[in-house]
Amino acid sequence: MTTVTTPGLERFRGLVSDALLSEIYDLARPLRGVHVLHINTTAQGGGVAALLRVLLPLARELGIPHTWRVVQLDEFAATFMARLTDMLQGGEPGLITPQDQRQFLDSLRSAMQPLVDERADLYYVHDIQLAPLGQLFPYMRPALWFNHIDTARPDPAALQYISQFLDAYALCTFNTPFSVFPQLPAGRTAVITLGIDPFSERHAPLSETEGVVLLAGSGIDPTRPLITQVSRFGRWKNPWQVLEIYRLVKQRHPEVQVALVGALEASDDIRAQAILADLQQRAGDDPDIHLLWDPAQLTAPVVNAFQRFSQVILQRSSREGFGLTVTEAMWKYQPVVGTSATGVRYQITHGYDGFLADDAESAASYTLRLLEERELWRQMGEAAHRSVQERFLLPMMLRDYLAALLRVRQ
């Protein structure tokens, strides 16, 4: 049988194996013409939007029609969900009252109003925020659900609460094996490897000359070392520890600068403003602490420049389902100083393509090593790039994604 190739996927020939590309074309064939509707809560900002932006065009090119709709949560639902996320992700105890549950489902019903006439052959619902949709709207069949947060150690009450909605889904998908809910039957779970698109503007090659201009435009002195964390201003991203590490490193290298890069636009993270204000207060009048949040300034090339041309990249998440920012920096030849958070330890091999350390002192000593031993930094950066090429590029995600659709379709 002749295989119809697509330009989007053919860009990866040579970067991933021919066998993987053939597998993708084979998986896509029986799905041609099957309309898939994705529903999530953010069009901009955050990893889910980043994934859908690169996955959907490739799937469409393969002949599988895709639609993406965004549901706007009201303030009550967003706050309720932030609390549930803390319970599920942080293992924090909490109370989910019947009154809150009722109000949350009412909020979801009204938020879905603009979408209720949308029909598709398969429905893909993202995040715990929207988990009840399958049950609330029985026309959504067959449906898949994607959990993006770190649920390796959930609070049992929160897990029980969210699990009651999952019977509506033919398949529940997770971004690492560690986050899979153990009570779900294996036949109804799948892991989808997350991958980045190295050809997108966000990750395109950038010369050092261009990078330096972009960094200088963001207030950075390119002649002095810079340590950076690229992440939303979210509690579980632990930006406070980035400042601690910076202060420890500065004791030995007074010329060091630090940047926290997090465009404030993920409309589902309602606490980011408060975290930013707290960090601004802690930063005081230190001109070497750069807190960057303006989405108009943080264009794709600017974020790319921070990831490529910082001397050291940190990812201090205390919880992480899968940190796309880790993969992105590794692709850009950066050995990341990460933590043992679920996704991060799945992505980094300690001592080979990055470092894992949870406390500020150990992380500061790894940061110092990478700052001072640039040959080690270079070699580990090469290894980081290779690791992403082997494990976390877009075609790997596309293969797992198509396989998940097929399991539900057959």
Q: How far is the CB of 117 from ligand UDP (least distance, A)?
A: 30
Sequence-ordered strand ranges (E) for 103-225: 122-126, 143-147, 171-174, 189-191
Output 46 or 132, the one with its CB closest to ligand UDP. 46
Cis amide bond preceding 142, omega within 30: yes
Output 6 or 147, the one with its CB closest to ligand UDP. 147
Q: Output the CA angle 58-61-62, nearest 5 degrees.
A: 95
Does position 324 bind ligand UDP by CB under 6 A?
yes
Query: What is the pattern of x (binds ligand UDP, CB under 6 A) and - over residues 216-255?
Result: --------------x-x-----------------------
Number of H helices and number of E strands within the chain?
16, 12
Does position 129 bind ligand UDP by CB under 6 A?
no
Q: Could you say which of 127, 328, 353, 400 contacts ligand UDP (CB under 6 A)?
A: 328
Q: Is 184 helix (H, G, I), strand (E, B) or coil?
A: coil
Output 21 or 330, the one with its CB closest to ligand UDP. 330
Q: How far is the CB of 119 from ligand UDP (least distance, A)?
A: 29
273-293 per-residue burial string, b: 16 or more CB within 10 A, e: under 16: eebbeebeeebeeeebbbbbb
Q: Which stretch binds ligand UDP (CB under 6 A): 150-158, 185-193, 256-264, 348-356?
A: 256-264
Does position 305 bind ligand UDP by CB under 6 A?
no
* Residue whose tokens read 């939303």: 232
Which residue's C-beta sits nearest to ligand UDP?
47
Nearest CA-CA partner of 350 in 312, 329, 385, 380 = 380
Q: Output the CA angle 145-55-400, nearest 5 degrees.
A: 60
Output 257 or 325, the one with its CB closest to ligand UDP. 325
Interacting residues toward ligand UDP by CB under 6 A: 46-47, 50, 230, 232, 261-263, 298, 303, 323-325, 328
